[in-house]
Amino acid sequence: MKVLIAVAAASVALVAGQGVAHAQEAQSLDRLVGLVVDRLETADTVAAVKWAGAVRDGGEPVIDDPAREAAIYDAMGALGVERGLPAGWVRAVFEGQIEANKLVQRGLVAEWRSQLVSAPVPATDLAGIRPVIDRANTGIVDELSARRAELASGDCPARLTGTVLAVAGARHVDLLHQAALVRAALPLCEA
């Protein structure tokens, strides 16, 4: 909730022209938010692969993959502990990443199901996209470690909000991915 309130406050500040100094301070979190966006962008391919498989098999795409999700939580938690991070925080961060990714997948599947947009033919399969996700995951843990002091500070929600807004704007993130980005960013500030 603090991040959502900070998003609104930062939006008002940016519109009012008072966000320049805030935006410059937030730049230190650019790489972290960029990695989150990179990870979110994989949701399009994952959704397309799941959609194509469901169409081929005459079923519905299965978005949830509890076994894969548990493996990510365990691996990233262990990597975080190696980097001196609290396992609970790292798990919460990756729950946010996975839920955001599933939000995009569900949104795309709904569009394809309603035939508002045609589903793309995936250029790869899940095995082909997983290394991209794994690299983003490792990068996120590295950034959590490198930026831990900033992510634990009281001004983290405001700084993170400024970064999310700047990165989303610079990368022309669409509304579905913006909503998912907010979901993914919620647990980044260490409580």
Is 15's pLDDT higher than 70?
no
| pLDDT at residue 63 is higher than 80 | yes
Closest residue by Cα to residue 72 from 137, 127, 125 = 137
Q: Which residue has the tokens 């843990």?
A: 141
Q: What percent of the chain has pLDDT over 90?
A: 80
Residue burial 53-66, b: 16+ Cβ < 10 Å; e: rest: ebeeeeeebebeee
- pLDDT band at 47; cut points 50, 70, 90: very high
pLDDT at 12: 38
Report the topology of domain 2-185: Chorismate Mutase Domain, subunit A (1.20.59)
Question: Given pLDDT bands bounded at 50, 70 and 90, which one contains residue 179?
Answer: very high
pLDDT confidence of residue 123: 86
Q: Is residue 153 classed exposed, middle or buried when 0-12, 13-18 and 19+ CB atoms within 10 A define those classes?
A: middle
